[in-house]
Amino acid sequence: MKCKGLVSLLLAGVMVASLAGCGTTVEDNTSTPKAAAPSDTKAESEGTSQEEIEEAKAEVTVTGEVTMVTTGIEYEEIMNAIKEDLPGVEFTWEQQGSSTFENAYKTRLAAGAEGMDIFTPARADYPVLASAGQLLDITGETYLDNYTDGVISSAEIDGKVYGIPITANCYIVWYNKDAFEQCGLTQPTTFDELEADCAVLKENGIVPLVAYPKSGAEQLAAFFFHDLLSKNPQWLDQLKTGEAKWTDEEAVAALAKLEEWVDNGYILDGSLSLDDTQAYQAFYQGQAAMLHNGTWSIDKIAEAEPEFSYGVFPYLAKEGTTNRAQYCPGNIWTIAAESSDVEAAKAVFNWISQPENAQLYCRTAKQFGTVKGISFDFHEAAEDITPFYEMDKTKMMHAYLTPYAKSELATQVQRLIAKDETQTTAEKAALALQIAQDNDNKN
Amino acid sequence: MKTKTSFILFLGPALVIYTIFRMGPALASLAYSFTNWDGLSKTYEYVGLSNYIEAFRDELVLTSIKNTILYSVIVVLFQNGLGLFFAVLLDKQWIRGKNFFRVVLFLPAVLNTAAICFIWATILSPTIGVWGNVMTFFHLNSILPYDLLGSSDTALITVALVNIWQYIGYSMVIYLAGLQAVSKDYYEAASIDGCSQRKMFWKITLPLIAPSITINTILTTVGTLKEFEHVYSMTGGGPGNASHVMGTAIYQVAFGNTQRFGYGIAISTLLMLAVCIVTVLQRKIIGKAEMNSEN
Amino acid sequence: MKTKTTADKIISYSVLILMVALILYPLMAIFLSAFKTMSDFMGNPLGIPKTFTVDNFVYAWSKMHFGTYTANSVLVSSLTVALVCVLGAMAGYKLSFNFKGNKLIFTFFLAGMAVPVQSYIITLFQFMKKMKLLSSYPGLILVYTAINLPFAIFIFSSFFKTVPRELSEAAQVDGCSEMRTFAQILIPISKPTLATVVIVTMMNVWNDFFVQMIINMDQKKYTLPMGLLKFRSETSVNWTPLFASIILVALPVAIVFVLLQKQFIKGLTNGAVKG
């Protein structure tokens, strides 16, 4: 692993960024806490400078113990930076394994936020936790203004804000440029073009797409529902009210399209037992020309660049539909309502909302951040992806489905891919999905 | 012998620790199965037996019960059978390099299950693994599916085989411990009498290691009935819920997306009852076998 | 023993070698992958590394606080094993007698085996919080003991049932107290059972991370399996360093097993033969 080299590169990058960054005057870290440098917060927020200065003073003296629990790696660079900037705060970052993460925070919440101040609840749990009063209401905090439009409002429950989405994701497709060029193809811009390209690839003996239905079946479904979601960004909400149904014509058509692709052999045989790492291995080894995924997967590309030349495009809508990006906030950092150190936790929130700290986070975690003014320069591919975030947005499918419908979608996608064994069809799948949806809707 | 102090001294500590740290919390948790608590909110309502009734109608639960039983039977039979086989083999005096073989066989049991499952999933993958080659080499194309873990017919069994692979050595070690206790005199006497190898095994070895068999059987049964990690890592319960076992189903319901903790506990209680029933039955059957063999 | 025919020998060794190959193949894949770069692993997960690198091991070592975690694992495991053996043997012994309520208590213990930890972890956590036992060694050890006691009791009671009563009765007629009889006569002859309980409990506690994860929030008290989690990021698993750390973790265990194996067998054959 080139980790040591990477770490020094990152540190170098941070130093360069802090010297040349957006209007900050911080050179000497020890005297003025980065978190409270008046000049950069002034540039970003709408608060009065007097408030900022007072806040800055308060933060220098804030003390407390904050424990943050996430599934992600505890990034040393972030921890060290926090230690420097918020000397009075004893910051502990605890990492929990993904299969027990939900167990962990639910257990701790049930005992009164024991040993946990900041945590990143699962997306489905966030609204429930908020309504149940388990999360601290942070509506109106000044640092919230640092975020790009739409980010904070996407975290609103009943008009109040309970957490900050630190990262943002949208769906993308990685493709093997060499393979495409070999067949005389260029990057597609509509779904129809994409389908035509698949036919050409298939003729040339190249499998078009590898998927990972073992862990990401809904993301594959989203690929086929993209046109519907671009046309109608309210569709996922309409499912909840019953206004739209899985059995509607366009929904069944989307499922049928998946069926068609399976029949045409466009999806790599053997995908059913692949998870996303393994699917990436298949793509890397040239077994398929495209890999659908989300922007969170850029770390895989960064860690192990394929030997062929590759490109990336967003999920595509059909000819005639304005393409939107299926978007969702990534990790939402929240403060437990019963946390024992609310002020210190808020100080950390304020810290992460400052551009250069957010930039540090993005670079370290290789994720796309949500603070205004940061640039995604941690990898070449990231620069190609940046414009996708400027597109009009629609809700990311797998993030906004209701629980039973989501499970059922995964099941049905897997069954459709295995249709030789299961003898299922798009219509049957749609029916099963609607039953699950009705189950969700009545709760 | 039967004085009160004797009881308190011997049984007391175990009972106390066990009750406080296991049964107590378990019973308290049981109460949740009669509620609709989602595991997140601060409030919940009592719903009586409706969780249990729903569990019996839930397809996921029913499939997972069936799968759990199947999984358990396969693993118990083969892991014990093979474990015993290798224990007997490696107990023979004329085998050289016994230690080496024992260590190697035991190794998988000590390694991290998730990593083992990942590697096996890679190996068995037709795309990134060697399964495709193996299939063609042994001309298995018409018998077995191309994608073992991705095919609803074979997914569960494949996971069971990996489970067996991992723990053969573990069962073996327990059998070895049992075999050590069998005096070699019995074999000598029998061989002087002209007993064949096979007869000696069935008439001498097996009955004398009956306790080890019981231990291993209970161990593997209880372990497999609560199975979670292998299925979760290798198939996630798929494809299409074909390989869900009770452990993974409970997880998905109680802690996964559906946030129905109370319902999850209800399913878990059913699992517990099932395990109790199976264990009791097993003891009766094995008990009878032990008595028969002692005659 | 009659001489083995060559055919038997060939078959036996072939079977063993085949089995070893089957075991070692995936293990070698893990082992070799620990020496690969990420790109190499992506392109060639099961083969020999194109370029050998020890970066993964360096990274794993630095991330893992190996020394601390191993010490914690050893501490927690050995104390739990000791407690389970002692208490389990005593309770198992008592339960091998027939008395009123015997079956009830026995079933009470057995029921525990069937309950998975996930279902009561929340109430356990709340309880331990009240008792201020969270993130503490005693707390962990007690929880693990409670989890492993049923099995130990079950095995010990089965074993003690097979011990003739005359043995202990004779000793007591001679003036030995029950406890002494128990400790000095019954325990030595239960060596195989003891060994089994030790192995099973040790494995369960050493490899556990679920209970750890929830009950223990103090990073200084983490055990080895927790260290392995450092390689899971939010969106993916860092497989190559994970493999390296698995090897680092498994190495001491394997060495201990190799050494102990010989001791075990010696110890078992010495005092355990039933006359």
Indicate whether A108 and A249 sit together in one domain.
Answer: no
Residues A208 and A315 in one domain: yes
Same domain, A156 and A94: yes
Whole-number Å distance between alpha carbons of C38 and C182: 57
Residue A108 has what pLDDT? 86
Q: Does C207 touch chain A (CB under 8 A)?
A: no
- pLDDT higher for A185 or B283? A185
pLDDT in tens, B70-87: 999 999 999 999 999 999
Q: Is A106 on the interface with C (CB under 8 A)?
A: yes
Distance of alpha carbon A312 from alpha carbon A327, whole angstroms: 16
Shortest CA distance from A285: residue in chain C: C43
Closest C-alpha to B113, from A281, C145, C46, C210: C210
Q: Would an 8 Å CB–CB cutoff place C131 in contact with chain A?
A: no
Whether residue B208 is contained in a domain is answered as yes
Cα B185–B174–C79 angle (5° rounding)? 120
pLDDT of residue C263: 65
Number of domains composing chain B: 1
Whether residue B96 is contained in a domain is answered as yes
Measured between alpha carbons, how far is A45 from A40 in angstroms, rounded to an integer?
9
State percent of chain C over pLDDT 90: 15
Using a CB–CB cutoff of 8 Å, tell me whether C37 touches chain A. yes
Kindly determine whether residue B127 and residue A282, on different chains, have CB atoms separated by under 8 Å.
yes
Asked, for residue A288, whether it belongs to a domain, the answer is yes
The total of structural domains in chain A comes to 2
pLDDT at C47 over 90: no
Contacts of residue B255 in chain A, CB cutoff 8 Å? 102-103, 106
In this structure, the number of other CB atoms found within 10 A of the CB of residue A186 comes to: 11
Tens digit of pLDDT for each residue in C90-115?
Answer: 888 888 887 788 888 888 888 877 77
Nearest CA in chain C to A364: C233
pLDDT of residue B19: 92
Report CB contact under 8 Å: B115, C242. Answer: yes
> What stretch of H or E contains C161?
helix C137-161
A131 and A232 inside one domain: no
Res A126: pLDDT = 87
Measured CA angle at A314 (ends A313, A316), to 5 deg? 110
Q: Partners for A (CB, 8 Å, 3+ pairs)?
A: B, C
A79-93, A328-342, B5-19, C181-195: the lowest-pLDDT one: C181-195
**Residue type (1 letter), C160:** F
Q: Give B-chain residues touching A268 at CB under 8 angstroms.
A: 127
Whether B15 is covered by a domain: the verdict is no
Here the CATH number for the domain that contains residue B176 is 1.10.3720.10
At residue A14, does pLDDT exceed 50? no
A213 and A350 inside one domain:
no
pLDDT (0 to 100) of residue A4: 36
Q: State the ipTM, two decimals.
A: 0.80
Mean pLDDT value of segment A284-295: 91
Structural domain includes residue A384: no
Within a domain: B25: no
Q: pLDDT tens digit string along A189-232?
A: 999 999 999 999 999 999 999 999 988 899 999 999 999 999 99
Q: B181 to chain C: which residues are within 8 Å by CB?
A: 192, 268, 272-274
Per-residue confidence (pLDDT) for residue A51, from 0 to 100? 52
Task: Return the sign of the alpha-carbon dihedral for residues A423, A426, A432, A433.
Answer: positive
CA angle A225, A229, A231 (to 5 degrees): 120
Q: Write the CATH number for A254.
A: 3.40.190.10
What Rg, from alpha-carbon coordinates, does chain B have?
23
Which of A129, A135, A214, A273 to mutate to test binding with chain B, by most B CBs within 10 Å of its CB? A273
- Give the model's confidence band at A8: pLDDT under 50 very low, under 70 low, under 90 confident, else very high: very low
Angle at A440 between CA A152 and CA B65, to 5 degrees: 120
Question: How far away is chain B from the Cα of C72, in angstroms, using its nearest Cα?
Answer: 17
A323 with A335, same domain? no
Closest CA to B238 of A412, A320, C126: A412
Angstroms from C125 CA to nearest CA on chain A = 7
> Residue B54 falls within a domain, yes or no?
yes
Which of the other chains make 3 or more beta carbon contacts under 8 angstroms with chain B? A, C
Asked whether the beta carbons of residue C105 and residue B11 sit closer than 8 angstroms, the reply is: yes
Which chain C residues are within 8 Å of B129, Cβ to Cβ? 45-46
Residue-number span of the structural domain to which A351 is assigned: 3-165+331-366
Question: What pLDDT is recorded for position A88?
Answer: 85
**DSSP of B116-180, one letter per residue?**
HHHHHHHHH-TTTSSHHHHHHHTT-TTTS-S-GGGSTTTHHHHHHHHHHHHHHHHHHHHHHHHHH
Task: Confirm whether B164 is domain-assigned.
Answer: yes
A252 touches chain B (CB under 8 A): no
B13 part of a folded domain: no
Interface check for C261 against chain A (CB to CB < 8 A): the answer is: no
Q: Do A337 and A324 lie in a common domain?
A: no
Exposed/middle/buried for residue C233 (C-beta within 10 Å: 0-12, 13-18, 19+): buried
Q: Which residues contact A12 (CB under 8 A, 6 or more apart)?
A: none
CB pairs under 8 A between B and C: 247
Q: Which strands form A89-95's sheet, in the order they lie side by side?
A: A89-95, A64-70, A118-119, A332-335, A163-165
Same-domain check for residues A398 and A362: no
DSSP A275-298: -HHHHHHHHHTTS-SEEEEEGGGH
Confidence of residue B293 (pLDDT cuts 50, 70, 90): low
C67-84: pLDDT as tens digits = 888 899 999 999 999 999
pLDDT reported for residue A37: 32
Cβ B95–C12 below 8 Å, yes or no?
yes
Q: Are residues A174 and A144 in the same domain?
A: no
B293-B295-C1-C3 Cα dihedral, nearest 10 degrees: -60
Of the two residues A32 and B157, the one the predictor is more confident about is B157
Those of residues 226-255 in C touching chain B at CB distance below 8 A are 228, 237, 239, 242-243, 246, 249-250, 253-254
Q: Does C62 reach chain A within 8 Å, measured CB to CB?
A: no
Q: Touching check for A415 and chain B: CB below 8 Å?
A: yes
Q: The domain containing residue B147 runs over which residues?
A: 38-294
Q: How many CB atoms neighbour CB B2 within 10 A?
A: 9
Q: Is residue A226 part of a domain?
A: yes
What are the chain B neighbours of A132 within 8 Å (beta carbons)?
40-43
Q: Which residue has the tokens 């429930």?
A: A128
| Beta carbons of B257 and A407 less than 8 Å apart | yes
**Of A113-127, B115-129, C121-135, C245-259, which gets the smallest average pLDDT?**
C245-259
Q: Is residue A388 very low, low, confident or very high in pLDDT (cuts 50, 70, 90)?
A: confident
* Subunit contact A272:B153, Cβ cutoff 8 A: no
Mean pLDDT estimate for chain B: 83
**A194 and A158, same domain (yes or no):** no
Beta-strand (E) ranges in A127-241? 156-157, 160-161, 163-165, 168-176, 209-210
Residue B221 has pLDDT above 80, yes or no: yes
Minimal C-alpha gap between B22 and chain C (Å): 6
Sequence-separated (6 or more) residues with CB below 8 Å from residue A259: A416, A419, A425, A426
| CA gap B242, B151 in Å, rounded | 9
Average pLDDT, chain C: 81
Residue A255 lies in a domain: yes
Percent of chain A scoring above 90 in pLDDT: 30
Q: State the nearest Cα–Cα gap between A67 and chain C, in angstroms.
A: 10
* Nearest residue to B250 via CA among B27, B21, B29, B73: B29
How far apart are the C-alpha atoms of A87 and A351, rounded to whole Å? 12
pLDDT at res. B2? 56
Cβ-Cβ contacts under 8 Å, A4 against chain C? 55, 58-59
Domains of chain C, start order: 67-231 (1.10.3720.10)
The mean pLDDT value for A292-300 works out to: 87
Q: What is the pLDDT of residues A142-161, one digit of tens each?
A: 888 888 877 888 888 888 99
Q: Does C200 touch chain B (CB under 8 A)?
A: yes
Mean pLDDT, range A308-333, rounded to an integer = 89
Q: A258 and A220 in contact (C-beta within 8 Å)?
A: yes
Which of A263-267, B33-37, B288-292 shows the lowest mean pLDDT across its residues? B288-292
A129/B151 CB distance under 8 A = no
Domain assignment of residue B6, yes or no: no
A212 with A259, same domain: the answer is: yes
Interface with chain A: mutation pick from C235, C238, C240, highest number of A CBs within 10 Å: C235
| C window 9-48, beta carbon within 8 A of B | 9, 12-13, 15-16, 19-20, 22-27, 29-30, 33, 45-46
